[in-house]
Amino acid sequence: MAVEHNTREIEEGVVTDLRERMSYGSYLGLDTLLASQHPVSDPEHHDELLFIIQHQTTELWLKLVIHELDDARTLLAADDLGAALKRIARVKHIQEVLTQQWSVLATLTPTEYAQFRGSLASASGFQSAQYRQVEFALGNKHEQMLKVFEASPAEHAALEAELHRPSLYDEFLRHLARAGHAVPTEILERDVTKAHVYNEALVPVLQAIYESAGEQTDAVHWRAYEACEELVDLEDNFQFWRFRHLRTVTRTIGMKRGTGGSSGVGFLQRALELTFFPELYAVRTRIGA
Ligand code: HEM
Ligand SMILES: N[C@@H](CC(=O)c1ccccc1NC=O)C(=O)O
């Protein structure tokens, strides 16, 4: 039958009456999800749907990143490093998808984008609360960023709570201290509402973890070493995303100012100078030196 008609027969057991049962669409809330694309260009520009979906898929993945980073921090606070690393591994894969995804938006030419850019008015990715929450969770705290969210109380409250919460790095370093590593007290007691600033005294602590890793089979050290490398992957991946954003912006709007009011490319370029885990990079200069 299948070969003859090149059609697969639907098996008898397949559920087709879903009036009283949970279905794919109802479980996933697809009525809301798929009704949430509202192009504003008039007449509607063909490519605006791409622009909207690119952003919405990013926001969905960011929601999961936040969920995983929240739990990773809770697990670190409970000294369950192995489980925290599982969460971080998932975040790394999401970051890879998000970075790859830029190639879809890169099919939008500057001419096409210019045809509906005006309709976006002052809306900008700079106003993404979830993106800012991820930046905060990784330690790039910046209280003034909250101002952008004053018109949106729920987003503002979520970011304010995040501002006061220890970052992933804070929780990791606290965990290391509890595991017997000599993390400087000023780091453990730092004001977590501020961005983490490079601390020279932390480097030898990390160096000990890195240099002992090849020599001993102490499980705590191996896990700590693995965790350090996972954090470096996380930061690298974050920078790759920022870089792809910068390159996409450059090829799409050149040196135009951003709709959010910034200088555009120059402003995004300066984000590439930021670092979440500076000591994890500094330690590399010392190893074997
Ligand atoms: C053609 C596509 C895009 C262009 C031309 C563009 C342009 C810009 C510009 C110029 C800025 C600086 C702020 C401003 O003045 O507006 C910015 C910031 C930002 N954009 Fe985009 N963007 C694009 C796509 C995206 C996408 C798909 C996302 C994913 C959610 C995104 C997320 C962000 C974020 C999170 C910021 C803030 C970055 C930071 O604070 O360092 N952008 N974008
Ligand atoms: N800032 C962009 C506009 C933009 O990309 C955008 C507009 C509305 C919602 C999200 C956006 N994405 C990233 O900034 C621009 O200046 O063209």
Q: Which CATH number covers residue 75?
A: 1.20.58.480
**54 is known to lie in a ligand binding site:** yes
Average pLDDT score over residue span 46-60: 98
Residue 52 labelled as part of a binding site: yes
Residue 206 Cα to ligand 2 midpoint, Å, equals 39
Residue 289 has a pLDDT of 80
Residue 64 in domain: yes
| Structural domain span for residue 193 | 50-109+127-249+263-286
pLDDT digits (tens, 9 = 90+) for 261-275: 999 999 999 999 999
Residue 131 domain-assigned? yes
Q: How many residues does the chain have?
A: 289
Ligand nearest to the CA of 58: 1
Ligand 2 centroid to residue 123 C-alpha, Å? 6
Q: Is residue 17 part of a domain?
A: no
- Closest CA to ligand 1's atom 23: 249
Structural domain includes residue 30: no
Tens digit of pLDDT for each residue in 149-193? 999 999 999 999 999 999 999 999 999 999 999 999 999 999 999
Ligand 1 atom nearest the C-alpha of 253 is 5
Residue 255, domain member (yes or no):
no
pLDDT value of position 43: 98
pLDDT confidence of residue 220: 54
Q: Whose CA is nearest to atom 9 of ligand 2?
A: 124
pLDDT tens digits, one per residue of 109-146: 999 999 999 999 999 999 999 999 999 999 999 999 99
How many structural domains compose the chain?
Answer: 1
Please give the mean pLDDT across all residues of the chain: 96
Tell me what pLDDT residue 208 has: 93
The amino acid sitting at 186 is E
Q: Is residue 276 assigned to a domain?
A: yes
Three-state SS at 145: helix
For residue 135, being part of any structural domain is answered with yes
Q: Which of 124, 130, 242, 245 to mutate to test the pocket of ligand 2 (most atoms within 8 A of CB)?
A: 124
**Which ligand is the nearest neighbour of the Cα of 142?**
1
Longest dimension (CA), the chain: 75
CA 287, CA 65: separation in Å to the nearest integer?
A: 32
